[in-house]
Chain A
Amino acid sequence: MSLLEARNLKKYYATQKAVDDISFSVAPGSIFGLLGPNGAGKTTLLRMITGIFFPDSGEIVFEGKRFDPMKDVERIGYMPEERGLYKKMKIGEQAMYLAQLKGLSSSEASRLIKQWFVRLEMESWWNKKVEDLSKGMSQKLQFVTTVVHNPKLVILDEPFSGLDPVNSNVIKDEIFNLAKNGATIIFSTHRMEQVEEICDHIILVNKGQKILDGTVREAKQKYKASLFRISFDGELPQQEHPSFSTIKRESHSVVVKINEGSSSNEVIQSFMNGGASINSFNEILPSLNDIFIELVEGTPTARQFQTVTN
């Protein structure tokens, strides 16, 4: 059973179909990547899952029951892309306030916050004000306030923006930790290298519609272009064979595309017959970045305004 299931979600604004019939499901304990270019409808989608917006149609099922924003928000932690904290409030009070709004009692909130503060080396911050924090520090605080109530579902919108590599790694480790301890994580971004590293399952949305849904491996298999890199000892052979076409010649290797109907064995065979000594033979899988660009390219980079008829 999936922890969260979205069925045919739609949300139309006056001039845009922000989310146009998107369905997906998130397995418990997984790290789920929600990808898409700017303005694809990611934030609107997340706002529906967090109960901030009501979908125009479609339904959301959370832990097997129909999503009830009044009750279920306590089991969700949401860190929006636009971070926000009360500038004039002390950090400890701020964390306590947000934790209590998530339904924790004050003693419980205080215990959990202190635990997190120790873990992320933030103990000395308690009586400082938010306005005294650097961007990276307030990012860490924001992360703590998002996860302090041990939510079943953690939704992170661009969690690494503004963090240096060291702190990025700290947060990344915490994300893995949360998933290991049973939380499910939805991770929205357009930074593909992080997705490859972190996510189990991804969906890609563009212009309000889902255009890809699967594991990272599946996506790569699906969008691979039968490209192989063969490296050689010594001289590059000037081989031609109907089973492949050469795409690129590098100093010690060539990139070939295996033609339809042929197998990699035929290609290797032909090189071996030509007397070349093969050093390695690798399939080149597309990076998510390549897939992303391929799928999104050709559509205008900025969403156009459209007339919506319901």
Chain B
Amino acid sequence: MNKSVLIIRREYLTRVRKKTFIISTILFPLLYLLLIFGTSYIATKSSKELRVALIDSSGLFDRGLVNRANMEDSSNTLEYFTGNTDSVISNFSEMGYDGYIVIPPANWESGLPEITLKADKTHGITSIYGIQNKLNGIWNNIKYQKLGVNEATRATLEKNKISLREENQKDKASNAGIATGVGYLSAFLIYFILLLYGSQVMMGVMEEKTNRIAEVMVSSIRPFQLMLGKIIGISLVALTQFLLWIVFALIIYNITKASGGSSNMMSGALEGIQKVVSNINVPLILFCFGFYLLGGFFFYSALYAAIGSAVNEDMREAQSLSFPITMLVIFAVALMAPVISDPTSDLAVWASIIPFSSPIIMMARIPFGVPGTVPYWQLGLSMALLILGFIFTTWFAGKIYRTGILMYGKKPSWKEMLKWAFRK
């Protein structure tokens, strides 16, 4: 059997047979779901229901208006306070209020100045917005009353709001909301896999070096074959894990479908998935995902392999040397938000073409539509550059690896490693 195949097979099998692989394959999607649902659950639960005393010096507010607003939105409570205002101001927390608001004397036509919620704690911005909205609602009602607008007219005024939706003429199916979701998801997955499996490559190389098996190995095969075998083996592990996730997703999808949308939530979820599937080009996205996953992985893991070969058993050395590489990946993720909010900007175009960030950024853009948002030339250029990029990093890393793997002692600096790479 070909020696490279032997190495790939060993790297693949030892990892796939590990318990940690099986556990992480099952647990990761669960944790991911937990993370998404958990955070949104916590976010809704954690905003506090504020109870605020409203002291009106303008004479425009009344109890009826305030109570009606409270009934419409129960996420906080405004209490129209009449009585001894001084006692509220000095003892609001003893009286069970989180804070109080004093409406200054005002004329309804000239409007209100900025109003302060006085509290003894700092509350989150969501809670404050809730109260601001409620106050604005009441204020509008006051103005309607003063202007003599009746219920019917008001309903007409409020009903007729314009909502704007974008339709890309080149790609009518594209839907910005779904594209954003799919873009974020795929870009994040690539990001996770790059860092997770990139560091596995680094650890694998370090293991070979500290176990001193490197010298035994390179007396049978070229160092470059050993490095490439490891990278390819681990990339296959990543792909296997990803395929298993797709299989899980399909199984769960089919089970829920078979169980006939028994609950509203499930049928809602099914509809959502069907909508996503009908809105995006699934085969194209899967193909591009595979391409950018592998391309990005080869690009970065070669660099991680070079670092693993250069350091000794000390994990801290490895971390400090790999920091610049990890920063590049994180930088690409940081670019994702502006790119998704405007996927055709110059930043988005260039970041999706330059190989350092293209695996993550291009995957964030593709769901917005090819060739609508991402013209073919951009996709082609980006793919070509990524291929050239990983050929270069692999060559470059191979040179460092060859020297580093048999070198013990002091940790080399990046400068020395560059010297290893570029000497004859």
Residues of A within 8 A of B (CB): 47, 50-52, 70, 73-74, 76, 78-80, 82-89, 97-98, 100-103, 105-106, 142, 145
Contacts and interface: CB of A to CB of B under 8 A. Distances in A.
Q: Which of B1, B3, B208, B213 gathers the greatest number of chain A CB atoms within 10 Å?
A: B213
Contact of A82 (B6, B212, B222): B212
A224 to B, nearest CB: 39
A233 B10 CA distance: 72
Nearest to B10: A97
29 contacts: A47-B215, A50-B219, A52-B215, A73-B219, A74-B220, A76-B219, A78-B216, A80-B212, A80-B215, A80-B216, A80-B219, A84-B214, A84-B215, A84-B216, A85-B213, A85-B216, A86-B14, A86-B207, A87-B207, A88-B14, A89-B14, A97-B10, A98-B216, A98-B220, A101-B3, A101-B7, A103-B3, A105-B1, A106-B1
Interface residues of B, number: 21
B406 interface: yes
B221 interface: yes
A84 B213 contact: yes
Contacts of B10: 97
Contacts of B213: 84-86
Given A82-B215, A84-B213, A85-B213, 15 more contacts: A47-B406, A70-B222, A73-B221, A74-B220, A80-B215, A82-B212, A83-B212, A83-B216, A84-B208, A84-B212, A86-B208, A97-B6, A101-B3, A101-B221, A103-B3
A80 B408 CA distance: 14
Interface string B187-228: 000000000000000000001100111111111111000000
A105 B3 CA distance: 11
Nearest to B221: A101
Nearest to B408: A82
A133 to B, nearest CB: 13
A22 to B, nearest CB: 20
Contacts, number: 63
Ranked nearest first, the 6 interchain pairs of A and B with the lowest CB-CB distance are A84-B212, A84-B213, A82-B212, A78-B219, A101-B220, A80-B215
Interface of B: 1, 3, 6-7, 10, 14, 207-208, 211-222, 406
Q: Which of B10, B215, B218, B219 gathers the greatest number of chain A CB atoms within 10 Å?
A: B219
Contacts of B215: 47, 52, 80, 82, 84
B98 to A, nearest CB: 58
A110 to B, nearest CB: 13
Contact of B406 (A52, A70, A85, A106): A52
A84 B221 contact: no
B211 A86 contact: yes
B6 A101 contact: yes
A105 B212 CA distance: 25
A139 to B, nearest CB: 13
A113 B217 CA distance: 18
A223 to B, nearest CB: 34
A85 B214 CA distance: 9
B308 to A, nearest CB: 15
Nearest to A78: B219
A79 B219 CA distance: 9
A126 B43 CA distance: 55
A102 B220 contact: yes
Contacts of A84: 208, 211-216
Nearest to A102: B220
Given A52-B406, A88-B14, A106-B1, A101 B217 contact: yes
Contacts of A70: 222
A240 to B, nearest CB: 58
A52 B212 contact: no
A73 B212 CA distance: 19
A142 B211 CA distance: 13
B216 A52 contact: no
A100 B217 CA distance: 12
Contacts of B219: 50-52, 73, 76, 78, 80
A102 B3 CA distance: 8
A121 to B, nearest CB: 23
Contacts of B214: 84
Contacts of B221: 73, 101
